[in-house]
Structure 1
Amino acid sequence: MSQFFFLGLIALGGAFGACSRYLISELCVSLFGRGFPYGTLVVNVLGSLLMGLLMSAINQGMIASVPARPIIGLGFLGALTTFSTFSMDNVILMQQGAFLKAGLNILLNVALSIAACFVGYQLLMKN
């Protein structure tokens, strides 16, 4: 498989991931307001769940690694969940003196994302 084709698959998934991230974030703002970075939390947890499902499906032989991993794993999920946004959200909260919110955001993103990835992986396990 050529490198350009592989990069094209990643770009295709990334375009959908970036658009999905925007739409999810806007939905969270409309539902919950801007007082807490709910959009980042939702995309991080959802992305982790989907990553767990994807990797389990690949490891179980349910889907082929190519094109699923470059399109979904690297492209879509790579664009959907961005740790840099998570980091910036927390810097802003700390600059505003909202240390409790920042701590809660860090705890929730890390714990729920790891848990969601585990659940996603386990959902497709055959044992």
Structure 2
Amino acid sequence: MTGPLAVALVALGAAVGAPLRYLADRLVQARHDTLFPWGTFTVNVAGSALLGFLAALPADPAVMTGAGVGFCGALTTYSTFSYETLRLAQDRARFVAVANVVASVAGALGAGVCGFALARALIG
């Protein structure tokens, strides 16, 4: 899907996803007094699960554009994941930095697979 409608759908999805990412990140992180960036981890895993779910549904370009690209793209955050990992390494919390990389990559990929499998099971 391309054109003005696609841009509008991405913008609409992102307008919901970005504030939700911020609020979810703050809510989760406030409940954990650790160095590990639980808020970013949570939104990235949740967004990956949702995107996997959407990817398994029958193709609807408008849904994938608005919800997949716009919402999931704004909900998840690779840049914050990278920044937090580098910050942990610079602060000499190398074990936590490595744990963040391993858990985030494995968690997001696993969540995407689970979301995909769930949608396939539901639609048959």
Question: What TM-score, normalized by structure 2, do the two folds share?
Answer: 0.92
1:110 matched to which residue of 2? 105
Unaligned runs of 5+ in 1: none
2:73 matched to which residue of 1? 78
Structure 1 Cα separation of the partners of residues 103 and 44 of structure 2: 10
1:7 matched to which residue of 2? 7
Letter of the 2:25 counterpart: S
> Aligned residues, how many?
122
**What is the percentage of aligned positions where both structures have the same residue?**
39
Structure 2 Cα separation of the partners of residues 2 and 97 of structure 1: 45
1:44 matched to which residue of 2? 44
* Cα 1:40–1:2 shift into 2, 3 Å: closer
Query: Does the CA contact (< 8 Å) of 2:13 and 2:67 recur in 1?
Result: yes
2:117 matched to which residue of 1? 122
RMSD: 1.5
Structure 2 Cα separation of the partners of residues 73 and 40 of structure 1: 18
Structure 1 Cα separation of the partners of residues 36 and 62 of structure 2: 36
Question: What TM-score, normalized by structure 1, do the two folds share?
Answer: 0.90
- How far off its partner does 1:36 sit? 1.8
Structure 1 residue ranges, 4+ long, deviating more than 3 angstroms after superposition? none
Letter of the 1:56 counterpart: A
3-state SS in 1 of match to 2:120: coil
